[in-house]
């Protein structure tokens, strides 16, 4: 196999991994996070003022808060079996959905 084929194949794998992570983030969010953030503050939709201070911290700080838990939110949103990478993927998805 020549270097060009290996490079293209590697790039395709990395792209598919990125797409899988985004899908996993959505799935984790919908299963673990949405039930609360649909009913309790800060709600996903309509509470931008409550999200602004959190969003300013950046995704890494948000993920760290979710991993440790904060206020009424238990660590990892109550799903202790989640890997930190799953939490980070869910946070990344969440940030794209806040309105």
pLDDT, residue 20, reads: 45
Mean pLDDT calculated for residue range 44-50 = 92
Query: Is pLDDT above 80 for 1?
Result: no
Q: Is residue 12 part of a domain?
A: no
Parent domain of 69: 24-97
Is there a domain that residue 69 lies in? yes
Q: What is the mean pLDDT of residues 22-49?
A: 90
In a domain, 7, yes or no: no
CATH number assigned to the domain comprising residue 37: 1.10.760.10
Whether 39 maps to a domain, the answer reads: yes
Burial class (CB in 10 A: 0-12, 13-18, 19+), 44: middle
Q: Is residue 11 part of a domain?
A: no
pLDDT digits (tens, 9 = 90+) for 54-98: 999 999 999 999 999 999 999 999 999 999 999 999 999 999 998
Q: Is the residue at 31 inside a domain?
A: yes
Residue 99 banded pLDDT, cuts 50, 70, 90: confident
Separation CA 55–CA 98 (nearest Å): 10
* Residue 16 confidence (pLDDT) above 50: no
């Amino acid at each position: 196999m020549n270097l060009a084929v290996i490079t293209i194949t590697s790039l395709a794998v990395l792209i598919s991994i990125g797409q899988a992570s985004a899908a996993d983030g959505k799935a984790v969010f919908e299963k673990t996070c949405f039930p609360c953030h649909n009913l309790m503050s800060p709600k996903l939709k309509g509470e931008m003022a409550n999200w602004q201070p959190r969003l300013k911290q950046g995704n890494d700080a948000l993920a760290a808060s979710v991993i440790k838990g904060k206020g009424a939110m238990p660590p990892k949103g109550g799903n202790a079996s989640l890997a930190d990478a799953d939490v980070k993927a869910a946070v990344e998805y969440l940030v794209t959905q806040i309105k």
